[in-house]
Chains A and B, each alone.
Chain A
């Protein structure tokens, strides 16, 4: 027992139209909105009640994916809890009226989805909807797996799926490893990965360190902690480790995607590799097992896509570009911490922040350049690399102004 394809299509299209993540300029299409939609794929995943179907609808050439669930209308409000807005509408499933809704809002169905997306390899008892974004929704299962359920589909392999798979293949472990992906009719519908409960954004660690630095130095006369190195919340050892892992990431990317000659105009003394491309303190996470690098697509831990479709184009560039991004991020977070101080403290805080930044930048670069084999990508001596980095960071600052 399940609703008919026509009934599902009829409910999905108006639902899509009112979603904040449905960023399609309908003016580009026919005046007859309905005619521009097409039901491209339908799979009944669970029959009966509650039931679930995977529905793909295209608008022009852009495919959208919605998981539709249905239940007896009386039971539905309880199943949806706080997500009452997920309702699509009523239809008939062959045995009478059912209320259809976005299945991710239904804990029971969302939990059972894991087995579907992993072809039966993984199951869980609980699920937590982390967030719903333009490109995907993120669900965490039993705090050990998470699934990215894509909304805007791309032909497989989706760059994120491909990249993570390849990094995993070449043995790069400082990421949330992919464990399964759900592909159907040439589209990647979902990606299941390991989850690192308790992992914390690098930015928060940086702010913790700065808080301690300012706390000790701006509070009282504290001769013990009059220098950045003496600050209890020193971040430099973490930044050194992050530098090491960044080096390992670049070597892994080079192994997975190859090394190219550098186009002129980029940093000299380096090769071009496929870089991370959006590397900053919100893309790295400290976990109990050390640093984890995220942001290869848009991670559920991050919550912000980079373009309106959440995609990032693979980019070949100097590995120093990633380092410059991270260095710039250190500067930004230091500026943020300074701005959070009372205005009378700014001058003093600024001075401390500068030396904090210098120290952590240095530790990061040392960690990076200390990685065995990194000289195959960055031929420069440390001083030259630091100079080059500085000029790349200046460019970013100029661009930001």
Chain B
């Protein structure tokens, strides 16, 4: 084992990798990716340099919502394997220093879940009030409909029971009734079940909606927070080094509540930041980013943001103003097919017109802005999407491993695949695949791997303080990540933890990955400068505090001119992003 696993705050330094088990690798040639397939590909993830895998739902499901409609919380979907396979994945991953967290949906079940089947069967069965039943559809009238493209209401009539049931998402996903303590207890049992098997934590789906109350918007209610604190205290009492990552698609002031006083979730996604990174680049100015970061409140000690560029859902535009949404649609989703609900269903590469420089810029930001970065499988290859597939399937196509049949994803018949791999001339698997990019030292994959390695060497990126630096050019975003007390220890760990022998040595062309930094001279500040414009830009930075320091560019270790004057003039290439260590010498 490369890494010290006894670190309760590992998630603050981790790079996450979100993957779709059905789309990653198919070990048994049935056309659907599975857990054994994932186990076979752990070497690749170790080689890439990620720290934690986040699995999209692994539970049995009728798949009306990509597996988020769970019909059994305690087993693994048969097409993915069984519980033993999951345990094997966890063990093998741990052996490589990689942790595994999994999606868990607490808000609702599938309408095929035995709980619901029983609940709907009559009005007086044992589970009769495990769901939200009503004689009419008038309750919670002020609650918004999230899947507004397809669901006219949050209530659907069930002819079996002769009542309406409540659902925040698809009508195949009835909401559980948390006012019934049996439901909360049962869900806690689910959490224990998986943690006992060795899972390192959960990404909690749709957290804000657990408890409902008439006269509110049924989001972020105090009872929901109370329940999360209960789960957290159970985890803290019984388990070690586990974590909860909450999906709370809300404004920062509401999201912050889900950290509690450091006694609710360990991590929450920073949703509002993501669309603004795209917006800033399209507008060639930093304010969309700096503005939202200025509004983002400080989080409690021992908590961390999760930040991302793209994920399995649409690029959600709930957390922007109407005007900003119109702008994002106009710029990034000209074709209405690219839109879904309040979002844009596209992968990163097509979103940026397959511009490698923009992809690098966005990843450079992702790896250096405050928070633990979450990569989405395939984006490390600049994989494309297929907007002609329904729902969000367009961004869930098979991982492209090689130019072989079915992208090397599966040996099944093409017609049997859960979704067709991409075959278009730009993003198709013949050109865009792991094998080809590993062979090509100048590929995006290699670039990203190098960036991940550098990020691991500097704890400032993970836990350092964040400060935007004044720059006279609005197209330039400059910020400093400064080590906090205790980060020096972190640097030592990061260095010691880093795998000295990469898993796929054939492709290990990265020099000095394991070179230990001199701990006595652990750098205090890392300066990040991004040119958001597609033209070269000059900038004058105020680096007065670092007068006498030499900025050393982190990829090439190139020393830049010493900071001598109060303003520091540099010129940056189009879409360039640069990381500098500020060294006194």
Contact = CB atoms under 8 A, between A and B. Distances in A.
Contact of B290 (A198, A209, A237): A198
Given A197-B470, A198-B470, A215 B330 contact: no
B283 A143 contact: no
Given A205-B285, A288-B290, A288-B291, A237 B566 contact: no
B285 A233 contact: yes
A215 B470 contact: no
A197 B535 CA distance: 24
A286 B323 contact: no
A233 B284 contact: yes
Nearest to A140: B542
B535 A288 contact: no
B287 A143 contact: no
A232 B282 contact: yes
Interface in A191-231: 197-200, 204-205, 208-209, 211-212, 215, 224, 229-230
Scoring A208, A211, A234 by chain B CB atoms within 10 A of each residue's CB, the highest score goes to A208
Determine the interface band of chain A, counting residues with CB < 8 A from chain B. 20 to 34
A288 B287 contact: yes
A120 interface: no
Interface string B531-572: 001110000001011000000000000000000001000000
Interface string A66-106: 00000000000000000000000000000000000000000
B290 A230 contact: no
A126 interface: yes
Contact of B291 (A128, A197, A224, A289): A289
Contacts of B573: none
A237 B534 CA distance: 21
Given A234-B327, A237-B324, A200 B284 contact: no
Contacts of A286: 287, 474
A346 B533 CA distance: 23
Interface residues of B, number: 30
A208 B294 contact: no
Contacts of B330: 229-230
Interface in B280-307: 282-285, 287, 290-291, 293-294
Contacts of B475: 208
Nearest to B534: A215
Contacts of A198: 290, 468-471
A234 B534 CA distance: 15
Contact of A204 (B290, B469, B474): B474
B293 to A, nearest CB: 8
Contacts of A224: 334
Interface in A133-172: 143
A344 B324 CA distance: 35
A224 B335 CA distance: 11
Contact of B544 (A128, A211, A215, A289): A128
B470 A211 contact: no
Contacts of A240: 323
B472 interface: yes
A128 B291 CA distance: 25
B331 interface: yes
Contacts of A60: none
Nearest to A197: B470
A234 to B, nearest CB: 7
B473 interface: yes
A200 B542 CA distance: 14
A390 B294 CA distance: 38
Nearest to A230: B330
Nearest to B330: A230
Contacts of A205: 285, 474
Interface in B505-552: 533-535, 542, 544-545
Q: Across chains A and B, which 3 residue pairs bring their CB atoms closest together, nearest first?
A: A232-B282, A197-B470, A198-B470
Given A212-B283, A233-B285, 18 more contacts: A128-B566, A143-B542, A197-B468, A197-B542, A198-B469, A204-B473, A204-B474, A205-B474, A208-B284, A208-B475, A208-B533, A215-B535, A229-B330, A230-B331, A232-B331, A233-B284, A240-B323, A288-B294
Interface of B: 282-285, 287, 290-291, 293-294, 323-324, 327, 330-331, 334, 468-475, 533-535, 542, 544-545, 566
8 contacts: A143-B542, A198-B471, A200-B472, A208-B284, A230-B331, A232-B282, A233-B284, A290-B291
Interface of A: 126, 128, 143, 197-200, 204-205, 208-209, 211-212, 215, 224, 229-230, 232-234, 237, 240, 286, 288-290
